């Protein structure tokens, strides 16, 4: 997959895109990332990419002309890529959205800045509007990094094990179960015996129960959005009984 990122600050991506999973994806030639400085499409000698908003008000707005020229130049070489805008007004970025974007031919990600972009850019070019959450960042660069990272790890062959992505939090609508590694005891806290038992069915059931327990405790809203199996309902009933017994 090809990620084209349109930004006023391309230097922000140097570190994050040269490490870990994203670097692995690039090394395997499973992804390609191209950074495009929007100022390069400005026509004045100062490479002006923003201006005061019509109607007055605080802050500046990203100008339509250089951004449109940048989008058109990139889109000309990537006609099947989807143009995405990072914006607080967009739909919330979730695992499901990341999975959807991973199925696209490519992504052209516009990093919003200042008070936003000229609305005509949204009307003319933007095909998807993405927000990381209900808060405001200084710009869309961090959101673009998050989108690239989340989408990249879902692409076949990027992770060392296909099971790694499948067992991540949110993949099945639940938070991930607790994880442990050596040593078996650390500061008087032991790894649950079931994980040392070698009984794969007991381990599977324990992990499912703890996933349900964590989701019920930290994100109960997620339980309303998924279809629970008969086993899930029985496990949840057991969790509730445990809590009543211990007075939690």
Q: Please identify every residue annotated as catalytic.
A: 88, 115, 153, 168
Q: Closest Cα to residue 120, out of 80, 77, 85, 81?
A: 85
Provide the H-helix boundaries in the chain: 20-27, 64-77, 95-102, 119-124, 141-152, 162-166, 200-218, 220-223, 230-246
Q: Phi, psi (5° rounding) for residue 40?
A: -65, -15
Q: 215: exposed, middle or buried (C-beta count within 10 Å: 0-12, 13-18, 19+)?
A: buried
CA 53, 59, 65, 67 torsion: positive or negative?
negative
Start-to-end CA span in the chain (Å): 48
Q: Closest Cα to residue 36, out of 60, 2, 61?
A: 2
């Amino acid at each position: 997959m090809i990620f084209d990122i349109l930004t006023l600050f391309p230097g922000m991506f140097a570190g994050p895109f040269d490490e870990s999973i994203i670097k692995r994806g690039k090394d395997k030639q499973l992804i390609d990332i191209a950074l495009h400085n929007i100022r390069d499409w400005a026509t004045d000698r100062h490479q002006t990419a923003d201006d005061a908003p019509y109607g007055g008000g605080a802050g500046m707005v990203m100008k339509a002309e250089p951004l449109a020229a940048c989008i058109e130049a990139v889109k000309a070489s990537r006609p099947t890529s989807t143009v995405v805008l990072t914006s607080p007004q967009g739909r919330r970025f979730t695992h499901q959205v990341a999975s959807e974007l991973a199925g696209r031919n490519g992504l052209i990600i516009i990093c919003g800045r200042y008070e936003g972009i000229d609305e005509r850019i949204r009307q003319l070019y933007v095909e998807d509007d993405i927000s990381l959450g209900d808060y405001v960042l200084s710009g869309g660069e961090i959101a673009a990094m998050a989108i690239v990272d989340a989408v990249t790890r879902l692409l076949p062959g990027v992770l060392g094990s296909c099971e790694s992505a499948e067992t991540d939090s949110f993949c099945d609508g639940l938070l991930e179960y607790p994880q442990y590694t050596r040593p078996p005891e650390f500061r008087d806290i032991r790894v649950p015996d079931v994980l040392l038992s070698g009984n794969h069915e007991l381990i599977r059931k324990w992990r499912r129960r703890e996933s349900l327990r964590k989701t019920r405790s930290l994100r109960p809203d997620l339980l309303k959005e998924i279809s629970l199996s008969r086993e899930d309902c029985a496990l949840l009933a057991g969790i509730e009984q445990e809590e009543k017994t211990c007075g939690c």
